[in-house]
Chain A
Amino acid sequence: MKIMATIDLTLNIWRQKDNDSLGEFEIYQLNNISTDSSFLEMLDVLNEKLTREGKIPVAFDHDCREGICGMCGAVIDGVAHGPEKATTLCQLHMRNFSTGDTLVIEPFRSRAFPVKRDLMIDRSAFDRIIQSGGYVSTNTGGAIDGNSILIPSDKAELAMDAAACIGCGACVASCPNGAAMLFTGAKISQLCLLPQGAPERHSRALAMIDAMDKEGFGNCSNAKECEAVCPKSISIRNIARLNREYAKAAFLSETKK
């Protein structure tokens, strides 16, 4: 397939003033979009056009624009972060689309992710899960010698794979049940696989699952959609590990609760 230098698109974008207002789709025609531009740059072009016309630009989240911060994200034609696998929205390029395409652009939706404006959502539910136990308690003191804690390379690799999660929320957005198991599984795995995180594994698993349930996320039914859309290819193996961690903590934890 020959890739054209520029394409013309019809955009069907969700516009919503704030969480209390009703939203609706608005249609925009956008011509001469460079196929070398990213999806967010395409939205920038649209917003410049809207600004010149005296209209309100489309609000969307973004920060690093190099696929590592987890701020951007929208559902493009029913797929979180769009059609390209293992790619954030900012790294999705317009060469994935053809001239004349109509794109339906919606915010990530979930009970736990209220829409703030247009394509911007409130992901603070993730922050509260992390605050409940997604950390390592460290009593600071003199710096210890390097390599005094031994970590096998295979364990380090698994932990790093889990730590690749950028918390964008695509897993929740595409889960038929709105479950946050992949996110929580990755965050629990990156710590419990390492000796620094192991001592608190029981209290962490109990607290983080408790926080996850309180936020109103759904229940995992093993549909594997999360893994399929994850821009960092986080494996559902982390959900299996989460299940094990939680069961071990619930049945074997020494704390009384």
Chain B
Amino acid sequence: MWIVRFFQSSIGKKMIMAFTGMLLFLFLCTHVMGNSTIYLGSSHFQHYADTLHSFPVIVYLFSISLLIIVSLHVGFGLNLYFKNREEGDSRYAVTKRVVENSLASRTMIFSGLFILVFLLVHVAGFTFRDEHEPISELVKELLGGFFYGSFYIIAFSVLGLHLSHGFWSMLQTFGVNHPRYNKLISSLSLFFSVFFFLFFAGIPLYFMTGLGSSY
């Protein structure tokens, strides 16, 4: 079957990584918009959360879809990593990388797995929580803590690193590579990395530094 053949091929697997990566990126966009209400104050954030959860079907469908998308992204990522590791850097006595700033591309699997651990902690803390405490209070309580907050900040810097290669890599895999747009694409990769870091890591910083005391 053509579709099986496509997904078994090297390019097909890459396309799954790129496509699921794109969906996760779009999810981040919606997530960051919702979370930015935190900066407006607890009542705004609580209102947003209540409104969102007044559509349980939508929340349920999104959760299931995200689970599938994340599983595919992680599963195929690991599959490709282990396949590629058969080659490995150790095949030469001396290995020198010619491309500069390839830290992000070399560490995609590790940054990715770290984000997976973060996701588990995040979902355990905020999705499967005690339903009685309002989310607007829980977020301040958890993220205001030093260790919890620091872990979040580290996780978002890792996310930024992952995206700085991932965003460009996604477009390259889709075949988007044109001299007219390449500069824009590399600028956007950097922009989104920094943007998501600032908005997401800003939340624990907001509570930890006491800026959010009037929240």
Contact = CB atoms under 8 A, between A and B. Distances in A.
A222 B165 contact: yes
Given A78-B94, A109-B91, A243 B80 contact: no
Contacts of B95: 78
B10 A221 contact: no
A221 B176 contact: no
B108 interface: yes
Contact of A111 (B86, B92, B178, B179): B86
A220 B102 contact: no
Categorize the interface residue count of chain A: 35 or more
Interface in A159-218: 174-179, 181, 206, 209-210, 212-213, 217-218
A228 interface: yes
A236 B98 contact: no
Interface stretch (B125-133, B139-147, B166-174): B166-174
Interface in B87-102: 87, 89, 91-99, 102
Interface in B135-156: none
Interface stretch (A32-40, A49-57, A137-145, A245-253): A245-253
B98 A209 contact: no
Contacts of A213: 9-10
B11 interface: yes
B92 A240 contact: no
A92 interface: no
Contacts of A22: none
Given A78-B92, A222-B105, A176 B84 contact: yes
Contacts of B2: 250-251, 253, 257
Interface in B170-188: 172-179
A225 B13 CA distance: 20
A225 to B, nearest CB: 6
B92 A219 contact: no
Interface in A25-63: 25
Contacts of A109: 91-92
A161 to B, nearest CB: 12
Interface string A222-257: 111100110000001101111110110011010001
Contacts of B175: 240-241, 243-244, 247
B99 A250 contact: no
A16 interface: no
Nearest to B109: A221
Interface in A64-110: 75, 77-79, 104, 106, 109-110
Contacts of B5: 206, 210, 250, 257
A206 B172 CA distance: 19
A239 B10 CA distance: 12
Given A219-B10, A236-B172, A237-B177, A243 B15 contact: yes
A222 B87 CA distance: 16
A246 B91 CA distance: 30
B109 to A, nearest CB: 9
A177 B87 contact: yes
B87 A209 contact: no
B98 A225 contact: yes
Nearest to B15: A247
Nearest to B81: A221
Nearest to A85: B98
B44 to A, nearest CB: 40
Nearest to A244: B175
A239 B96 contact: no
10 contacts: A104-B94, A178-B87, A181-B10, A213-B10, A221-B105, A240-B175, A243-B175, A246-B12, A247-B15, A250-B12
Interface of A: 12, 14, 25, 75, 77-79, 104, 106, 109-111, 174-179, 181, 206, 209-210, 212-213, 217-225, 228-229, 236-237, 239-244, 246-247, 250-251, 253, 257
